[in-house]
Structures are given as C-alpha cells and as structure tokens.
Structure 1
Amino acid sequence: MKKVTLLLFLSLPLFAQKKMYTTPYEKGNGNQTATYAETIAFFKLLDKDFESISMLEMDPTDSGMPLHIVIFNPEKVFDFEKIHQNKAVLLLNNGIHPGEPDGIDATMMLYRDLATGIVKVPANTVIVNIPIYNIGGALNRNSYSRANQNGPESYGFRGNSRNYDLNRDFLKSDTKNARSFARIFHKVQPDVFIDNHVSNGADYQYTFTYIATHHQKLGDKLGAYWKDEMLPQILANLKKKKIESVPYVNIHDEKPDGGFEQFMDYPRYSTGYAAMFNVPGSMPETHMLKEYSQRVKVTYEYMLSSIEYIDKNHSRIKQLRQENLQQYKPGLKYTLQWELDKTKVTQLPFLGYEGGYKPSKVSGKPRLYYDRNKPFSKNVTYYQEYKPTLEVIIPEAYVIPQQWWNAIELLKLNNIIMEQLQEDKVLEVESYRIADYKTSKFPYEGHYPHNSTQVAAKTQTVQFRKGDYIISTKQPGVKYLLETLEPQAVDSYFNWNFFDAILQQKEYFSAYVFEDTAAKLLKEDATLKAAFEKKKQEDKGFAEDGDAQLDWIYRNSVYYEKTHMEYPVYRKL
C-alpha cells in the first residue's frame, strides 16, 4: 500500500505534494499549535504513506497513554543495531513542556519535507522523534498558563498528569514518562540529541537562543569538539539563513547587558542525562516574546542545520563518542561538583534592548522594563568555564546489596551491566559513612532533596550475600554510575532520597539502664576512656552535658547500630 501511494504521490508537482500533507499548524493562522490527537494522526499518516517513515508505539506514560517514536530513514531500515553500523542517529524530543510547542509543529513539517524530498535527504543520518513527550500536559490544554508568552492561542501545561516537571526527572525517574524515555534512549542509542523548548526571562532581539550540553561535563575530547567545532558550525549555518543566535540568557528580572553565565545542565535535565552517555545535546530556547510563527521557523531551521552537519561529520562524531570513554577509566579522577570560574571571561556579542526602571502601576515600586525602540549591539560578559570543586577516584566497581532494588531497578533500566554474586563472599571495599547533609525545607519535584552532603570514607571487609550486585565501571554507562552512586554528586540517588531509610536510627537506649553499662565500658576499655576524656577537655559544652556524654559512649560502643548513616553502596578499588 505504501509503495502504491508513494508512486502516485511522486507524480504530483511539489506544491501539490506539500498540500497533501499540510500540518495542522500550517492550516491555521500561524498562531495555533496541533493538539496531541492531531500530532499523532499526522505522523500515522506519514507512516502509512511513506516507506522511509516508521512509527512505533513504545511504553506508557503517567497519563496512561504510550509514547511513540517516529523514525525517518530513506534506506527503510529501522533496526537500530543495523543503523548504527554506518549511520548516525539524531534523537528529537518535543513537548516536554507542552506550553512550549514550537518543536512539535516544526518537527511535523520537517518529517514531511524529508519524506517528500522538499529538503535534502541525509545519506548518513537517521532521525528519530518523540512527537509529544509530556502527553498528560498536552491534554491539559489552556490559553493562560504561559502568562509571559506570545502565543500560540492555546497550548498544553508544563506539569505532567501527576504535576511533575519532566525536565527535572531524567535521573530520579519518578514518572513513567522518564522510565519510558530511558528505554527509548537506550533502544535508539542517539549520537546527538535535541530537546525543543521556549525560553523564560529577559527581553532581547534574538528569536533563537540555546542551552548547549556543558562541554567540560561532556568530556575533554568530545566536549572540545562540541564547543569549538560542531555547535559553532551549526550556528554559522543558521546565520547564513539570517537567524542570529546566542546562548540561553540565564537571568530573570534583571538586565542581560550586565552579563550572564552558561547554564549548567545537571543530570536531572534532558541534555545532562544525554551527556552521561557521551551524547552532545542542545535545548533550543526560542524567545517567548517573539511571534509563534517566527519561533517555529527558527526551530525548524536549527534542526535542519543540525542534520546537515551531522550528515557530513557522522563518522567523526561516532568516533569521538567512543574515544571519550577513555577519559573515564578506573583510577582516574571524575568531577562530582563544579563551580563557575569567574577568572575566565568571554566577551560575547549581544543584541539587546535598552532597559531601565520606572514606577510600577501596580505597586508604585521600581519595575524593570525594556524599550524595543532602543536596540543595542555590544559585548557583554559571558562566563562559560567552570572549575572542579569536588573530585573522586573512579573505582573498579560498585557493590550494591540486593535489597536496594529501587536503585538497582533504575540502573538496569539505563542499560547498566551488572553481575550477581553466585555465593556469599567477603570483599575488601571502600565504604562511606554520611557525615553531614542538608535537606531542602521546601518540596521540589516530589522530594525534599539533600545537598551539601559530606562523607567519611574507610576501607573495610564486608560480608556480601549471594545475589548482591557487582557493577564494573568499565562500561559505556560509567558516568551514569558515578553521577548516581557517588552520594556527593549533585543529582545522586542519595541526594534524591533513595537511601533515606539509613538516616533514621532504629534502636535507642534508656539512660537509666545504659548509665551502668557506660560506666562499665569506660572501666574496661582504656582506649575508649582516653578518647572520652580528650573529648571532654576539648569541648566545654560536651563536658557540661551529661546526656551528650552518654550518647557519645553509646555511639562509640558495640551497642550502637552500624547501619545508621552507613551508605549502602560500596566501592571496590
């Protein structure tokens, strides 16, 4: 059926071909976006009529409805193992925030134009598209939730059907959406990733801004290539199309002409997630105040320019991704925490509007405004380099007792290779005790996450059981292991509350009973007695606090439970 339809179609002139597959956006007034049902119906039509397009139903989302992927390959091969033998794969994600629908409409037109040959068909690149990632948010359609945005007339809602912001959920994976995305990501194994968005924040002349995977976090070779060659050439191609671009203006409620820094995309974000698997990614952030039709156009052109670059350089991208793994071998250092390096400054050409302050008509207090009648072009301060503030030595392996199935389940979901012990075994490992941490006072994406985590490390022998997991770091997912299992990493499983049960002490003592036990311990253990006396000499508050003294003896005795604050993931060096 596809072949017959295609032959009939190709006999038509180009304008007629395009008209046959006019998107819902193109049928509207330029300020309307396709609904979820219209989007899926359009891609099903392309799948039915073109042999180069295959639409697959994938796993469910929180909404109860499944994600889809739409694959474009002119060679009509849709087996990714075969595809990766000689082609690169670009993964497009749309509608993660359905109130930012530019990519949804732009990608529908892009697929139509690729299938019909209106644009140059790539020879070395396969394009995969998630039409709408946040299905629940897309179904929650309204015209008011994006109060700062200029169109379209109606759109979806930022939160998903359980009110999660999906662009904060890639690592912790609280939603079915995120878990389904992980399965898609590892099925597709993209070489490049694009996640289409719309900005919030300042006013300026640009329609197109972008968040780029942070090059230092991506890795030395691959990161340098992405920052110095790949992304600049894609943006230069945009400039030839008279589309100016600038990095995402990462400020709110203040003027950008004072300068700003590159956004650090931690693993909770889509491009940060992709970077853990050595995939360079970008988030187009079209400017919220520009007309919808302009925003759709630049999103389309950015994707097209990216495809053109990837197609010419597919072999090099794949080679550098593979070579990048050499940077993450056991015994080498890995950065867990970064800090902006303000000693390294770039002067960034910037097209803005003069801003100022005037009395608010609401409060009478000074309010920020921009004068679009006064555009300017000048250099602004831009900070792009970060410096490591906390590093760790990559171990040979991690060991996780089988009872921590919540972490093990996500590791398996993310293609992490692991082995189970075939018998009980004693291993010498490095262990962490949680020495300190802080917890958010406010809810954030279904959690009260931890931060400022401090650990005390020691080497010890630990008895493990048959069925416990040993996970080698010599695998493609090594960065995912480090970012999730090292408790001090910003988005670690620990900081996302996966191991909170260890933070609660389960057994206690009654003071009137333990008083006699404590006295006996001090009498019989000279080392304990000496440490106790030293503590009293050095800490006056402790010397005056009988309860604190009793608790100290308890915590330094055999009676204190050893699992309290003991991090249950071990490092095999």
Structure 2
Amino acid sequence: MKKLLILSLLIVVSCNQKKETDFTTLFEKSEGTETPTYKEVTSYYKDLSDSYSEISMLEFGKTDSGNPLHLIVFNTDGKTNKNEIKTSKKNRILINNGIHPGESDGIDASMLLLRNIVQSDSLKKVYKNSLICVIPVYNIGGALNRNSHTRANQNGPKEYGFRGNARNFDLNRDFIKQDTKNAQSFSEIFHAVNPDVFIDNHVSNGADYQYAITHLFTQHNKFGGDLGTYLENEIRPYLENSLNKKGIAITPYVNVWGTTPDKGWSQFMDSPRYSTGYTTLFNTFGMMVETHMLKPYKIRVEQTYELLFSMLDFTEENSTKIKDLRAKAVEKIVENKTYPIQFAVNRDNPTKFNFKGYEGSYIDSKVTNGKRLFYDKTKPFEKEVNYFNNFITTKEVTIPKAYLIPQGWCKVIDRLQNNNIEFTRLKNDTIITVEVQHIKSFKTVSNPFEGHYLHYNTEIESSLEEIQFLEGDYLIPTNQNGIRYLLETLEAEAVDSFFNWNFFDTILQRKEGFSPYVFEDKAEDFLSKNPLIKAEFEAKIKTDTTFAKSSVMQLNWIYMQTPHYEPAHMRLPVFKIQK
C-alpha cells in the first residue's frame, strides 16, 4: 500500500512538471543540410511561444494556399497582441522569410535567431527595447509544393519549396498590384508593425564569386532625402564593417547577367513591385539579403543569421535617429513640391571598391555547339570594380494637393484601403475644376507577366477641366503617411503605377463609334459650323501624307472633335486638385 502511494505521488509530480521541449532545429540536426517543412516551422514556433512569454505567434489574413499568414513577435514585455504592436514605442524590425521557398536560408536563420535570443538573459537585455517581428514563411503555397529539383543552380538544402505560390504568382512582384491574398495579408502585417527596418531574405542567381552573402539595400537616391543619405552613408557601411569584424566578407548584390563582375555593374533598382521598393514607400529602411546559391547551405544560413544580428544591433544603437528621420519624412516630401518617378543609372559617378571574384572566360561547351561561361575557382582575384549605385532623376511630377477617384474603380480603392490611405467621400454631387490626364502613348509587353500585360513608357497629357463628380466619390489628400504610395500608384507615368499594371485598361477602348455613311453628313455640318477645326483638318491633310490617303482616318479625326466622342476614352479616372 505504501509503495502504491509513493508511485501515485510520483505520477502526480511527473504530470505537474513542465515537459522540456527540444528546440534543436532540423537545420542543426542535419548538420546544415536540411530545412523544415511548413508544418514543422509553424509547430516549432508554436512550441516556442508556449514555452516563452516573450514569444507570441499571431495569425493575420489568409494566403492563396488557404492557410493564414503568421507573425512571430519577440517582446520582453511578454505576450503581445495586434493592438499592442501598433501602439508600441519600441524599435520595430520586420523580417520576411520564404517569399521564394526554395530560398529557405532566412527561414532557418530566423528560427535560430529567436530561439537564441529568448533563451539568453543577456541577449534579452540587449534587445529589450525592440519588437523583433518575423514572418516565418510568407509563400506558404510554394513551401507546401516541396521538391528537390526546381532550384537547378543551388547547392542545398536537400528539399525545399517552389518559387511560385499556390496560384503560381511570384510574390516578389505582387506588392503593388496585390493580386494574391498573400500580398493583401502582408500589407496588414506591415502596417500593424510599421517597421523601422525591413529585411527580406533571399538566395541569388547570377555570377560566381568568393562571397557567400550579398546585400541589396533599397536604392538610396530613390529613397531620397535624409533617409537615402542615412541609408547609404551610415547603415550600409555599418553592416559591412560589422560583418567584416565577424570574419564575414559581404558585397553589394552582384547584378550581373551574361557577363562577368570584373567589368562592374549597376545596382538593382527595386521599384515598388518588389518588397523593399514597397516598404520604403512608407519610409521604412529596407534591404534584401541575397546569399550565393553555390555556397554550402550551412554557411549561407550562418551568415544570414549573423547579418540579422548586425542589423538588430544597428537598429538598437540608432533607434532615436531612425525614428526621427522617419517622422520627418512626409513633411520633407511635401516641402519639395515635386516627386521623382523615373530614374536612370548615373554612369559618370560610380562607387569603386575591391571585389573578390573568380576569373571568368567563355570556353567550348561540352553539351551544346556553342560557348559557355566558366568561372575558374583556382584563379581567385581581388580587384577594384565600378559599382554604379548612384541614380539620377529623369522624370518628376508636381505633388497635387489631392486626388479624386470615382467610386466605381473599386479595385483601386480596395488597395488604397489595404494600405491605410486616408480619404473622405464627397457628400454631394459636385462640379470641380481639376487637372485631367489623358493617356498620350504607352507600350505593352508582348508576353504575359505575373498575370498581366504590363504597360511601360507611358506618357500623359494634362488639361484643366470642370468635371462632374458624384456623391460618394473619393477625395484623397496627399499630405499623409502614404504620400509616396499615392504618387507611385496614381501617377500613370510611374514605373509601377496602377495604370501600368492594367487597372484602368477599360479606358483604352472606345465603347461607341460611327458608321461612315451616316456620319458623313454630320461631319460636313460640324466642319461648316466650326471653321477653326475645319482649318486644322485641312492643314493636317496637307502635312500628313498617311492621313491624306485615308478617308477613314479623316472621318475618325473629325469624330473625335465632336461632342459624339466619348470623354472617358483614354482619360485616366484619377483627377488632380493642385494647390
């Protein structure tokens, strides 16, 4: 009886003891050759959250896979909900992983990062003023499409996910157009966190060289003003020096295709379709990490891990300056009165630095009957190269006081709402004098690109007109936190404008027309009553030989001058109120 009592007590004690969870990752268990599945990643973070009060695991919106997008938050104050993230005064760092799940380095590095911080009293003290927010796997659909073959140029891990998401979108082209639920849910996370610093972890393709890791900061001239200067003169040098002290050589992302890096290269221009191009629209310091695909997986993950710590340290040490620059950014943009929307590489002002590469040459292919590029790893070199990371503005626009958008353009309004854009709605039908924009010319890609036929080289022509607006139409002031977002999406000539992404394509097609045999009489009557237009018509016949040979073109020209011609054709449904 006594033995049974003792046994019962032992069972009770055992049941009351907290089970120790083994937080050794698959990456560690496999000695740096494997990465976990999506379910293993989420299970790991759930256990970490259950075991440590400083770790919270939150669900945001759905993704195209049907699964929710998770956010893992480290906060020494304890469990954190969505509202507490929004109101926190701490430093805010957002780390995005698995946008391309075949590039899983950041997934493993972030698991190690949060575990090691939360299990170390000294590290928790170092980062007590920081909210470290991690999206464990952004492209869940791609992560579930696991295989060992689609990364033909990559050295590990053994298995990984696929680049396309559940609907085969490349999510690193979707931040503006937001075709996917992933991108819509990302914007919810992004605006909740409002990060001071954003890091997106990738693996590179392209040239071969000695480095295992490269950095791709958002382009500093595009970022502009004090923010861009601080990024280029303070953050980038700090990161390079910090990693150098750890024995890790890092170089700017080697943006080279079909040639060798020793000839120099230009910085990749991250327009707003890309993660860092999007996040900097809200004055967040952004960078992509690009490890080198041919280096061993273990080294790539370890160096990503060290880079994350270096960026955390910079943010912690310079939080006051970072927050001050971000707080003043909108005011500075408005003061400038104009905003740059197109850039070109400045070939006259390269940055020079010593690059560690391998000699490359073209040799006879053993597979095809042509030549192939071959990097000789027995011939490493270090030489000075030109890095063209300075850009000049080639087009800018005057910042309007506000935009007006008719309420029928609901897909545009949805995206403005997703990005916390402030607006009011007209209370009455109103005639307002506005700047009207017509599409003068544009080009369109010949092949589909991410579900669209993207426009480019768009040109507009503007005029002042009185336009009838209706109760419920949207009035959007530019003097707000989302000013960059508005200018980059609503200005048709901007690279990733809503126009270029086909949101307004219905204006490019006429809905009404004419039959020549009917319109002939009306055209004659119209010209007789409008002598100035008639004179312009006759002059065009004399000076334009193609026009002179086509009666159809002539009738169409007259038709477009008459009240019969529909005003919506080629007219952008984005109207400006200037100051």
The TM-score, its normalising length taken from structure 2, stands at: 0.95
**RMSD of the TM alignment (CA)?**
1.8
- Pick which of 515-524 and 531-540 moved more: 531-540
- Percent identity (aligned): 49
Summarize the alignment of residues 243-258 of structure 1 with structure 2, pairs less than 5 Å apart.
243-258=248-263
CA deviations on 1:56-96 (whole Å, 9 max, x unpaired) are 11110000111100000112262566565531100000000
Which residue is equivalent to 1:100? 103
Q: How many residues align?
A: 562
Which of 468, 476, 479 is the aligned partner of 2:481? Answer: 476
Contact 1:337/1:391 (CA < 8 Å) preserved in 2?
yes
Aligned-partner residue type, residue 91 of structure 2: A
- Pick which of 78-87 and 259-268 moved more: 78-87
Which residue is equivalent to 1:205? 210
Which of 377, 393, 396 is the aligned partner of 1:391? Answer: 396
Which residue is equivalent to 2:7? none
Summarize the alignment of residues 145-544 of structure 1 with structure 2, pairs less than 5 Å apart.
145-329=150-334, 332-544=337-549
The reply on whether 1:45 has 2:54 as its aligned counterpart is: no
Q: Quick one: distance in 2 between partners of 1:80 and 1:277?
A: 19
Contact 1:54/1:71 (CA < 8 Å) preserved in 2?
yes
Q: Quick one: distance in 2 between partners of 1:218 and 1:340?
A: 15
Quote the offset at 1:20 in angstroms: 2.9
Quote the offset at 1:365 in angstroms: 1.6
**Segments of 4+ moved more than 3 angstroms:** 79-86
Q: Quick one: distance in 2 between partners of 1:316 and 1:262?
A: 26
Q: Quick one: distance in 2 between partners of 1:8 and 1:329?
A: 60
Which residue is equivalent to 1:117? 120
Q: Quick one: distance in 1 between partners of 2:336 and 2:303?
A: 45
Q: Quick one: distance in 1 between partners of 2:470 and 2:101?
A: 47
Q: Quick one: distance in 1 between partners of 2:436 and 2:119?
A: 59
Aligned-partner residue type, residue 103 of structure 1: G
Unaligned ranges ≥5, structure 1: none
Contact 1:219/1:324 (CA < 8 Å) preserved in 2?
no
CA deviations on 1:501-530 (whole Å, 9 max, x unpaired) are 100101010001111111111112111111
Quote the offset at 1:123 in angstroms: 2.5
Which residue is equivalent to 2:8? none
Which residue is equivalent to 1:565? 570
Q: Quick one: distance in 2 between partners of 1:466 and 1:401?
A: 9
- Pick which of 210-219 and 60-69 moved more: 210-219
Aligned-partner residue type, residue 134 of structure 2: N
Contact 1:159/1:166 (CA < 8 Å) preserved in 2?
yes
Change in CA separation of 1:389 and 1:431 when aligned onto 2, cut-off 3 Å:
same
Secondary structure, in 3 states, of the residue corresponding to 1:353? strand
Aligned-partner residue type, residue 42 of structure 1: Y
Secondary structure, in 3 states, of the residue corresponding to 2:282? coil
Aligned-partner residue type, residue 117 of structure 1: S
Which residue is equivalent to 2:6? none
- Pick which of 153-162 and 110-119 moved more: 110-119
Which residue is equivalent to 1:28? 30
Summarize the alignment of residues 3-22 of structure 1 with structure 2, pairs less than 5 Å apart.
20-22=22-24
Which of 46, 62, 69 is the aligned partner of 1:60? Answer: 62
Q: Quick one: distance in 2 between partners of 1:153 and 1:392?
A: 50
Quote the offset at 1:535 in angstroms: 1.3
- Pick which of 172-181 and 306-315 moved more: 306-315
Aligned-partner residue type, residue 117 of structure 2: L
- Pick which of 541-550 and 431-440 moved more: 541-550
CA deviations on 1:291-339 (whole Å, 9 max, x unpaired) are 0000000000000111111111111111111112222217711011111
Which residue is equivalent to 1:556? 561
Contact 1:330/1:396 (CA < 8 Å) preserved in 2?
no
Q: Quick one: distance in 1 between partners of 2:224 and 2:344?
A: 16
- Pick which of 347-356 and 492-501 moved more: 347-356
Aligned-partner residue type, residue 134 of structure 1: N
Secondary structure, in 3 states, of the residue corresponding to 1:329? helix
Contact 1:330/1:473 (CA < 8 Å) preserved in 2?
no
Contact 2:53/2:79 (CA < 8 Å) preserved in 1?
no
Secondary structure, in 3 states, of the residue corresponding to 1:300? helix
CA deviations on 1:400-452 (whole Å, 9 max, x unpaired) are 00000110010001000010001111111101011111111101000001111
Change in CA separation of 1:192 and 1:552 when aligned onto 2, cut-off 3 Å:
same
Contact 1:104/1:131 (CA < 8 Å) preserved in 2?
yes
Contact 1:125/1:314 (CA < 8 Å) preserved in 2?
no
Contact 1:92/1:195 (CA < 8 Å) preserved in 2?
yes
The reply on whether 1:91 has 2:94 as its aligned counterpart is: yes
Secondary structure, in 3 states, of the residue corresponding to 2:376? strand
Contact 1:30/1:293 (CA < 8 Å) preserved in 2?
yes
The TM-score, its normalising length taken from structure 1, stands at: 0.96
Q: Quick one: distance in 1 between partners of 2:164 and 2:79?
A: 36
Q: Quick one: distance in 1 between partners of 2:137 and 2:222?
A: 28
Q: Quick one: distance in 1 between partners of 2:555 and 2:335?
A: 43
Unaligned ranges ≥5, structure 2: 1-12
